């Protein structure tokens, strides 16, 4: 059995599932390229906690953590169940590196989890555990969390970071708007560094590059990238997709630590 890569996926705006955006098409074909993992560990930009925290509810609720969208979106459910053995593995790997872990039996799946997974694995029949970001944590801290979790890839666990390579809600435009130069510049910088396995440069975020703080006025949408990258380092990563949504939101996706089958 080939070792699974880790992935960084965009989740876009909550209504991505109701659109015809090209990134939706990309995510819809991705499951067939990955194959069926035994379980999924996902880190979403929409959950930060004082310490790394794991969902432990047997059947986490689908959380609609947004407002002002069409009613159809609030009717969507992603009824994946949890995996207690995966919770134990993650706990053991992180505590083994001196990282204290908490567990949350009431937390459901936020849209950073269920939007992309609804497209990649729409049957919701693969066990899913969500892991929080560390509130106030650095790029390096999340990269090291990913490195600690890398052995999960040998257990047929798919590690996914869900966020955006650029995320500045003050500079959104209508769908189809040409992406601004600062957004494409930051996206290009990430792409080149990933392809060259230039982890030193990537770990200087958000201080470098100069476009970093405009791309991310707050860092939480890019931090899941570092968990996925750490789980696949030191190998170079591979860009799987590039597009932009609402002008400035990068929908770029990456695989780390292994290649995927070509799209059909």
Answer yes or no: is pLDDT of 25 > 80.
Answer: yes
Is the omega angle on the peptide bond into residue 202 within 30 degrees of 0, that is, cis?
no
Confidence of residue 258 (pLDDT cuts 50, 70, 90): confident
pLDDT given at position 189: 97
16 pLDDT above the threshold of 60: yes
> Does residue 262 have a pLDDT over 80?
no
42, containing H or E segment: strand 39-49
Asked if the model's pLDDT at residue 31 lies above 90, the reply is: yes
At 129, give phi and psi (nearest 5°): -125, 135
Q: What local confidence, expressed as pLDDT, does residue 181 receive?
A: 97
CB-count burial class (<10 Å; 0-12, 13-18, 19+) for 158: buried
Across 177-193, b (16+ Cβ under 10 Å) vs e yields eebbebbbbbbebbbeb
pLDDT at 2: 75
Residue 235: what pLDDT? 87
Q: How confident is the model at residue 254 (pLDDT cuts 50, 70, 90)?
A: very high
pTM for this predicted structure = 0.97
Nearest partner of 166 among 108, 86, 245, judged by Cα = 245
Residue 261 has pLDDT above 70, yes or no: no
Question: With pLDDT > 70 as the criterion, what percentage of the chain qualifies?
Answer: 98
Q: What is the pLDDT of residues 90-127, one digit of tens each?
A: 999 999 999 999 999 999 999 999 999 999 999 999 99
pLDDT at 129: 98
The residue among 213, 215, 113 whose CA lies nearest residue 161 is 113
129-155 pLDDT, tens per residue?
Answer: 999 999 999 999 999 999 999 999 999
Percent of the chain with pLDDT over 90: 94
Confidence label for 167 from pLDDT (cuts 50, 70 and 90)? very high
Q: How far apart are CA 99 and CA 11, in angstroms?
A: 27
- pLDDT for 188 equals 98
Q: Which two tokens stand for residue 96?
A: 């083994």
262 beta partners: none
pLDDT tens track for 229-245? 999 999 899 999 999 99
């Amino acid at each position: 059995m080939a070792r699974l890569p880790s992935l960084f996926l965009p989740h876009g705006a909550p209504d991505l599932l109701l659109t015809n955006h090209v990134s939706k098409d990309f995510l819809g074909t991705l499951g067939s390229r990955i194959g069926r993992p035994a379980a999924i560990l996902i880190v979403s930009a929409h959950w930060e906690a004082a310490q790394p925290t794991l969902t432990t509810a047997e059947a986490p609720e689908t959380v609609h953590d947004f407002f002002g969208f069409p009613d159809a979106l609030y009717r969507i459910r992603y009824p994946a169940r949890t995996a207690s053995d995966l919770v134990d593995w993650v706990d053991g790997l992180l505590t083994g590196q001196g990282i204290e872990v908490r567990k949350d039996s009431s937390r459901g799946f936020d849209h950073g989890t269920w939007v992309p997974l609804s497209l990649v694995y729409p049957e919701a029949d693969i066990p899913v555990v969500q892991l929080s970001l560390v509130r106030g944590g650095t790029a390096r801290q999340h990269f090291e969390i990913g490195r600690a979790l890398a052995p999960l890839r040998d257990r047929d666990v798919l590690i996914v970071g869900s966020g955006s390579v650029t995320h500045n809600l003050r500079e959104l435009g209508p769908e189809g708007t040409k992406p601004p130069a600062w957004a494409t510049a930051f996206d290009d910088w990430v792409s080149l560094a990933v392809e060259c396995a230039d982890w030193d440069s990537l770990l200087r975020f958000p201080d470098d590059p100069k476009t970093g703080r405009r791309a991310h006025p707050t860092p939480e949408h890019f931090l899941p990238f570092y968990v996925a990258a750490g789980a696949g380092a030191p190998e170079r990563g591979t860009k799987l997709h590039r597009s932009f949504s609402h002008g400035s939101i990068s929908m770029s996706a990456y695989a780390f630590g292994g290649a995927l089958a070509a799209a059909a």
